[in-house]
Amino acid sequence: MWFQTEWDGVGIAFTDATEGNLAAHTGDEPEAVTRRRRALETELGLAPVRWVRQVHGTVVHDVTGTHVPRTAPEADAAVSADGTPLGILTADCLPVVLVGERPRAEPVLAVAHAGRKGLLEGVLQRTVAAVRGHGATGIRAWIGPAVCGRCYEVPPEMAAQAQRVLPGIVSTTDRGTPGLDLPGAARTLLGSLDVAVAPEGADRTAWCTLEHTELYSYRRDRTTGRLAGLVWSTAGKDDA
């Protein structure tokens, strides 16, 4: 496990290669993926984790009060107001976990897959709105492992276009070429939405998927591996 913490009755985690590939859509053996997902649920003591079929869009799927579907719905974010565990899969794109506090009610949980496209098109704004839609007052976010601004090189036109949408997103790579700092832009954006970003992961070099082989990186390996960002309610669980 790359990172795991508990905050206000909620568990937050980001997996790494120790847990193995958790994506069913990247050409891995489906049985092996199912086995790893079950192992993860057992390790963390979770009810079935809800996943979505990610398409680099901005749709937020609300699982509150629903049963586990036969096929995962197409979406790039999910929200649950009843403590249902949520998972999001990435390899370089940003996994973001959100926890919304509610007075006299359990926290609202959310996950989002924010790559360049989703981030620029508003997936985080929509996810925050969905959390607030369940009555959350204060929201806290954890930005998981992703490619950092020193490693994510893009064509100059792409950098200029991104800069028009999210000023400050452009970085300079180690090679001195234009890049994008997705984690930094997400941090600024979430701050502007009154979301408190957790200090863990602030050092993006230390949390860079491309620079750490125990993290999955599509840009480095072109492999099937995806890591998971997870959030779940720990309320009512016996910690002994």
Question: Smallest distance from the beta carbon of 147 to Zn ion, in angstroms?
Answer: 6
Rule CB under 5 A: say whether 96 interacts with Zn ion: no
C-alpha angle 181-187-188 in degrees, rounded to nearest 5: 90
Binding mask 152-171 for Zn ion (x = CB under 5 A): --------------------
Q: In terms of C-beta density within 10 A (0-12 exposed, 13-18 middle, 19 or more buried), how is residue 81 classed?
A: buried
Please identify, among the stretches 6-14, 33-41, 73-81, 149-157, the one whose residues bind Zn ion according to the rule CB under 5 A.
149-157
Rule CB under 5 A: say whether 208 interacts with Zn ion: yes
Please identify, among the stretches 39-47, 58-66, 200-208, 223-231, the one whose residues bind Zn ion according to the rule CB under 5 A.
200-208
Question: Smallest distance from the beta carbon of 205 to Zn ion, in angstroms?
Answer: 6
Task: Indicate left, alpha or beta for 50 from its phi (over 0: left) and psi (-120 to 50: alpha).
Answer: beta
Where do we find the tokens 């070429």? 177
Give the integer Cα–Cα distance in Å for 185 and 134.
Answer: 26
Contacting residues for 108 by C-beta, under 8 A, at least 6 apart: 79, 80, 81, 98, 99, 100, 102, 131, 134, 135, 136
Give the integer Cα–Cα distance in Å for 238 and 61.
Answer: 29
Contacting residues for 54 by C-beta, under 8 A, at least 6 apart: 25, 75, 76, 88, 89, 113
Give the integer Cα–Cα distance in Å for 104 and 58.
Answer: 30
Backbone angles phi and psi of 192, in degrees to 5: -70, -20
Residues numbered 39 to 68 that lie near Zn ion (CB under 5 A) are: none
Question: Smallest distance from the beta carbon of 174 to Zn ion, in angstroms?
Answer: 8
Rule CB under 5 A: say whether 139 interacts with Zn ion: no
Rule CB under 5 A: say whether 131 interacts with Zn ion: no
**For Zn ion, the closer CB: 151 or 180:** 151
**For Zn ion, the closer CB: 141 or 210:** 210
Question: Smallest distance from the beta carbon of 213 to Zn ion, in angstroms?
Answer: 12
**For Zn ion, the closer CB: 123 or 148:** 148
Binder among 88, 98, 148, 215 for Zn ion (CB under 5 A): 148
Question: Smallest distance from the beta carbon of 206 to Zn ion, in angstroms?
Answer: 9
Rule CB under 5 A: say whether 151 interacts with Zn ion: yes
Rule CB under 5 A: say whether 211 interacts with Zn ion: yes
Contacting residues for 211 by C-beta, under 8 A, at least 6 apart: 148, 151, 205
Q: In terms of C-beta density within 10 A (0-12 exposed, 13-18 middle, 19 or more buried), how is residue 156 classed?
A: exposed
**For Zn ion, the closer CB: 87 or 184:** 184
**For Zn ion, the closer CB: 66 or 205:** 205
Chain residues that interact with Zn ion, rule: CB under 5 A: 148, 150-151, 208, 210-211
